[in-house]
């Protein structure tokens, strides 16, 4: 699964720290998700999508093998 969190963050000029605080997780959680180290829960995906004003499927995309 890939995601465009980094891009959306850049659009809004938002740091990992700020995003982390907005959705109430640690900064490392955001960093790890961006780095593709793990797949977030649906709650996180919904919160992130909401903040960026985009549908979940536009920020998170399935890949081969998912």
Question: Where in 7-66 is the site for a copy of itself (CB under 8 A)?
Answer: 39-47, 49-50, 55-57, 60-62, 66
Say if CB 23 and CB 48 are below 8 A apart: yes
Position 29 contacts DNA (CB under 7 A): yes
Residue from 16, 48, 52, 60 in contact with DNA (CB under 7 A): 16
- Paired tokens of 26: 């640690």
Distance CA 53, CA 19 (A): 13
- Paired tokens of 57: 């499927």
* Pick 13 or 56: Cβ nearer a copy of itself: 56
Question: Where in 40-59 is the site for DNA (CB under 7 A)?
Answer: 40-41, 43-44
């Amino acid at each position: 699964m890939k995601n465009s969190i980094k891009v959306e963050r850049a659009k809004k000029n938002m740091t990992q720290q700020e995003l982390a605080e907005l959705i109430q997780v640690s900064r490392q959680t955001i960093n790890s998700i961006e780095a593709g180290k793990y797949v977030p829960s649906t709650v996180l995906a919904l919160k992130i999508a909401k903040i960026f004003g985009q549908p979940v499927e536009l920020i998170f995309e399935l890949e081969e093998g998912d």
